[in-house]
Amino acid sequence: MQVKLKKMATSLVLSRFILLLFVTCFAATSSATTSTTTLKRHPGFLYSRTRGRCTPQFWSSMKEAWPRMVPQTSTVLNVFGSRAFDRYRSDMTLLESTAMNEDGNVFDKLLKQASAALLNSYSRKGFPYSAWEVKTLMIQGLVSEDAAARLTKRFSIANDACS
């Protein structure tokens, strides 16, 4: 009789353990499925953060058609004027400027943010800068590194806040 009770107690403990293991595995699978779904919606590196629809990264990804006023093949020289000729390649396109590496100098960062701001001014209602303001401010920002840094920050804030 005692052997039978011992076997029943062992069986009860094992069944509870298996139930706990099953529930744990089910919860882990459910969690993994949820995080996989999340990753599918936000492709990229594991630690990348989601960026808005107005950033240079968004415009360089070509997820949306560019405004007709500034096609992707427009050169920086044609869009921002002769003052840009001193700082940038004459054949650099706006698409290249939005995809630039941010490790460059302050003028490269300004161009990247100003290009996105120009695209946003044409395509986003309520963007705080008009196209002519972006072009004028860009020319003013090319005067010095301090001016470029201040203007880069202003454009970056406007681009990040836009939706």
Closest by Cα among 68, 62, 67, 87 to 77: 87
SS3 label, residue 25: helix
pTM check: above 0.75:
no
- Strands (E) across the chain are located at none
- Measured in Å, how far apart are the chain's first and last C-alpha atoms? 75
C-alpha 114: how far from its chain's center?
A: 16
Mean pLDDT across the chain: 80
**Rounded distance between C-alpha atoms, residue 159 and residue 108, angstroms:** 16
Q: What is the pLDDT of residues 93-130, one digit of tens each?
A: 999 998 988 777 899 999 999 999 999 999 999 999 99
**Rounded distance between C-alpha atoms, residue 97 and residue 127, angstroms:** 20
Note whether 150 and 108 are within 8 A (CB): no
Q: What is the pLDDT of residues 39-77, one digit of tens each?
A: 444 444 444 444 577 888 888 888 888 888 888 899 999
89 Cβ partners below 8 Å, 6+ apart? 76
* Distances, alpha carbon 105 to alpha carbons 1, 108, 109, 115, 133, in Å: 85, 5, 7, 16, 23
> Tokens 């808005």 — which residue?
52
Please report the pLDDT score of residue 122 as a whole number.
93
